[in-house]
Structure 1
Amino acid sequence: MYNYIMNFDQNISRRDFLKFTGLAAGSLLLPFGKVSGSNLLQEWPVGVNLGRLAAGELRSFIDLKAEPNMNAPATTRVWRDDVFEIKQEVIANVLDFNRYNQKWYETPDGYIYAPYVQPVKNLPNQPLTELPLDDQGQRGMWVEITVPRVNFELTKPWSNASSWIRDSEGLAKLYYSEVFWASDIRSMDGRIEYLLSEKYGALPDYYWVDARACRPITEEEISPIHPDVGDKRVLVNLQTQTLHCFEGSHEVYFCEVSTGYIREGEWLTPPETTPVWRKLVSLHMSAGGVSQYDSPGIAWTTLYHPDGQAIHSVYWHNNFGVALSHGCINCLPHDAKWIWRWINPTIALYPGELTVPDSSQSTFVQVIES
């Protein structure tokens, strides 16, 4: 599988990126108050626009600026996984010729470069007291994380878990827009918790999570978009870092994306035309452990290339329009979900996966260089 490693400009390594942005080791701040229990949700404003600092290593920080440009003086600093209010999106007041994106977020304490930030909301849910039945008559459901971040309780030693957990030094969390499978339910200290795991592409890790962080995904919200239209085509332009959905000659959807960058003279996202061969509600993607990437809960995954390239949601960057992945086509969650619903063939919520038996029924993905 291919996936993104946290590089925000083409051909910049993770280590160089940290040096370039001034990120350094430190302790994690909790800007909205301390967590009173290991699995309890933090209290963030409900329904307002929030941001989570997604850039950098765990225990790293970045400075907020007095103005929306990199050379402005610092006002304070935020740490990896800090959550803060986004008052508005603005454009840099000094054009930065080293960056494609000129977007910044205004926060109550200063400005932060938007590509470093995952846009999130805090949308707690009413927990269920019983899980629904899946297609096999077993209790279970797909859930989406709808709070900025949430802690969890692993059911086995951390040393035996996937590398995203094992190598996190106890700081691993689940993040807004990730999707998992809930297979059990319990009451713990007066709150309901779901037992989450990943059905596809992962080690058998199980973790208890506050049910208020988890929104059940319904059949209605993944209903196919224009399923009877056979003449569908996805066009990805590597030069412009854009994705276009066509029905015949009519464009029905457009978004900016992040594809694979150029390495040794070749795009890591191959310029070819290939059919969709697998679709999943959620997939765990990894290669080489945390030294490359190990990413759980990747929602709305559409695999189209035999080497493993896919169109999918991301929660670890917001730098769309810049080529920076290992080969996959990174999308904002709502873009990835729309594309996933629109692309043929259709897929049912249960089991949430389909390997296409006949590519003649599939939408083709055409990747071009310009």
Structure 2
Amino acid sequence: MNQNLSRRDFLKIAGVSLGALAFSPYRLPYFDYLSAPKRLPEFPGSEIIGRVVENGIDLRNRPTNDDALNTSIGKLNADSLVEWNRQVVGNVIYGLSNQRYVETPQGYIYASVLQPTRNNPNTPIAEMPAGQPGFWAEVTVPYVNLAHEGTVQSPWLKSNIEYNFPPRLYYGQVVWIDQVRASNGFTEYRWNEDVNGHGYGYGAYGEFFWADGAAFKILTDEDVAPISPDFDPNEKKITADLDRQTLSCYEGTNEVYFCRISSGLSYDPATGLTSDKLATPVGNLLTHWKI
């Protein structure tokens, strides 16, 4: 039966279908997929690419979440990618402080659930640098799919398998690479999530993953060198403004870096009441560890 679908109806149907796929219980063929080599996919062509970070995110025809205006025209699931046109000031209610939306060709998405990324693929090296056990590398594409090697150990990977969601690394993540191979028709790097200091912590499980080497920028000594190494460390300061949700770095009185942040919650999400249970601690604090 032929039926003309409006853009709104199409997006709603697409959202429901993708949601069912993302949360269906794992199927046996998933384990074949888990270890299969994977090339980088094609990404949107915009300078900035937005990655949706949660499931069931509203795509809206206006930059507001006011339910009375019925602005939702579809649902987007985690890792959906959109062309990022610009940020606009919207009308955000229900206790949310961030008023920004991102304008895309299809509609508006709340900025707090959209990661800005870029697609900057790299030319991978053909073999490991001589005399080095490995190197640090940064993901410079929206995401890269992983091919697992060995036994599934970590809770996060078991959860991905349960919900049939592909394991990935994301734009900006830095990982330890300890092997290079080209046996599958393209160059792959092996991410070693080991338990001896190269993992992300929280009980690294020593798993191995292969990924398309084009996704990674090899970090050099210059990339990780201290900013202004000759400046007195006692005159360097990092200030986090929890009211404005911003972070500034100072050398003396000169601001040398600025960015927006998402700090801890100043309220209890279970009750909605003000609470310091999940809040970022205030005061003059020492920097114990920096990545």
Equivalent in the alignment of 1:89: 87
Question: Could you say which structure has the higher strand fraction?
Answer: 1
Give the 3-state SS of the residue equivalent to 1:277 in structure 2. Answer: coil
Give the 3-state SS of the residue equivalent to 1:206 in structure 2. Answer: strand
State how far apart, in whole Å, the 1-side matches of 2:245 and 2:86 are.
25
State how far apart, in whole Å, the 2-side matches of 1:181 and 1:44 are.
25
From 153, 158, 168, the counterpart of 1:166: 158
Equivalent in the alignment of 2:61: 66
TM-score normalised by the chain length of structure 2: 0.74
Q: Provide structure 1 residue ranges, at least 5 long, that are not aligned to the other structure.
A: 1-21, 29-34, 280-300, 302-370
The answer as to 2:276 corresponding to 1:266 is yes
The structure-2 alpha-carbon separation of the partners of 1:219 and 1:270, relative to structure 1 and needing over 3 Å to count, comes to same
State how far apart, in whole Å, the 1-side matches of 2:217 and 2:45 are.
15
State how far apart, in whole Å, the 1-side matches of 2:110 and 2:217 are.
29
State how far apart, in whole Å, the 2-side matches of 1:141 and 1:54 are.
28
Which protein has greater RCO, CA pairs closer than 8 Å, 6+ apart?
1
CA contact (8 A) 1:145 1:174 kept: yes
What are the within-5 Å matches in structure 2 for residues 346-365 of structure 1? none
State how far apart, in whole Å, the 2-side matches of 1:106 and 1:256 are.
19
Give the 3-state SS of the residue equivalent to 2:20 in structure 1. Answer: coil
TM-score normalised by the chain length of structure 1: 0.59
State how far apart, in whole Å, the 2-side matches of 1:113 and 1:272 are.
31
Give the 3-state SS of the residue equivalent to 1:166 in structure 2. Answer: helix
The one-letter code sitting in structure 1 at the alignment partner of 2:129 is: P
State how far apart, in whole Å, the 1-side matches of 2:253 and 2:58 are.
47
Q: CA deviation at 1:46?
A: 4.9
* Higher radius of gyration, 1 or 2: 2
Tell me how large the CA RMSD over aligned residues is: 2.7
Equivalent in the alignment of 1:51: 50
Equivalent in the alignment of 1:76: 74
The structure-2 alpha-carbon separation of the partners of 1:114 and 1:215, relative to structure 1 and needing over 3 Å to count, comes to same
Give the 3-state SS of the residue equivalent to 1:180 in structure 2. Answer: strand
The structure-2 alpha-carbon separation of the partners of 1:117 and 1:174, relative to structure 1 and needing over 3 Å to count, comes to same
CA contact (8 A) 1:46 1:123 kept: no
* Identity of matched residues, %: 34
Q: CA deviation at 1:190?
A: 0.8
The structure-2 alpha-carbon separation of the partners of 1:216 and 1:46, relative to structure 1 and needing over 3 Å to count, comes to farther
State how far apart, in whole Å, the 2-side matches of 1:251 and 1:180 are.
29
The structure-2 alpha-carbon separation of the partners of 1:38 and 1:66, relative to structure 1 and needing over 3 Å to count, comes to farther
CA contact (8 A) 2:87 2:103 kept: yes
Q: CA deviation at 1:101?
A: 1.3
CA contact (8 A) 1:64 1:110 kept: yes
